Amino acid sequence: MKEIILIGGGGHCKSVIDVIEQESVFQIAGIVDKPEFLGTEVLGYQVVGNDADLSDLASIHKYALITLGHIKNPKFRIKLFELALNAGFKFPIIRSPFSYVSKHAVIEAGTIIMHDALVNANAKVGRNTIINSRALIEHDCDVGDNCHISTNSVLNGGTSVGEGSFIGSGTVTKEGVSIGPNSFIKAGSLVK
């Protein structure tokens, strides 16, 4: 299996580990986190470095994924993504075997599709984006870069989500809605 470095060792990282283990495409080579966590473990995988070590790690390992979560602001995920790109990492698409992605959908680099998520025909999902567990991205949706579509959210057909946006758990959009960049939609919202 190909080796991958996970960047960010918190709660989202734990969920990503489970998806990677189930997908059985990548072997986790280690986790990058804050310096004070060096040598500790997350679900049995060692923290092997911090942001300053990305270039050294990229000379050994080809692939990385940002596993820092995104709630109110995507700036740290974006910063880490850019640092890792500049260090030379490649970003795969990680997809749970328990998800469904239409062959007519487009998913871009560094995005993760979590357990039981569904991405339907002619949908597009940008780079470095989280499609969290049980999220539904319907036909003709366009989700920008650096977004987080939270658990159990429903983006109905033709919804557009601007880059850097957070869509809270259980949110439902009316079809054809356009959500601007860097938006924060609280959990349980109905977006008309």
Question: What's the pLDDT tens digit per position in 109-136?
Answer: 999 999 999 999 999 999 999 999 999 9
Chain centroid, CA 19 distance in Å: 11
Strand-strand pairing, 136-137 and 178-179: unpaired
Question: Which of 15, 147, 16, 75 lies closest to 5, judged by CA?
Answer: 16
SS3 (DSSP) at 80? helix
Whether the pLDDT of residue 85 is over 90: the answer is: yes
Type of residue numbered 49: G
- Whether residue 191 lies inside any domain: the answer is no
Whether the pLDDT of residue 11 is over 90: the answer is: yes
What is the total count of domains within the chain? Answer: 2
Question: What's the pLDDT tens digit per position in 135-167?
Answer: 999 999 999 999 999 999 999 999 999 999 999
CATH number at residue 175: 2.160.10.10
Rounded distance between C-alpha atoms, residue 139 and residue 55, angstroms: 39
Among all chains, which residue has been given the structure tokens 């260090």? 87
- Whether residue 159 lies inside any domain: the answer is yes
- Whether residue 144 lies inside any domain: the answer is yes
Question: Which of 61, 110, 122 lies closest to 87, judged by CA?
Answer: 61
CATH number at residue 78: 3.40.50.20
- Whether residue 141 lies inside any domain: the answer is yes
Question: What's the pLDDT tens digit per position in 16-62?
Answer: 999 999 999 999 999 999 999 999 999 999 999 999 999 999 999 99
The length of the chain in residues reads 192
- Take residue 159 and report the two structure tokens written for it: 């919804």
Among all chains, which residue has been given the structure tokens 């349980």? 188
Rounded to 5°, angle at Cα 148 from 163 and 146: 35
Domain extent for 70: 2-87
- Whether residue 192 lies inside any domain: the answer is no
Q: Are residues 142 and 58 in the same domain?
A: no
Chain centroid, CA 29 distance in Å: 18
- pTM for the model: 0.96
SS3 (DSSP) at 55? helix
Q: Are residues 57 and 76 in the same domain?
A: yes
- Helix residue spans in 136-188 (DSSP H): none
pLDDT of residue 95: 98
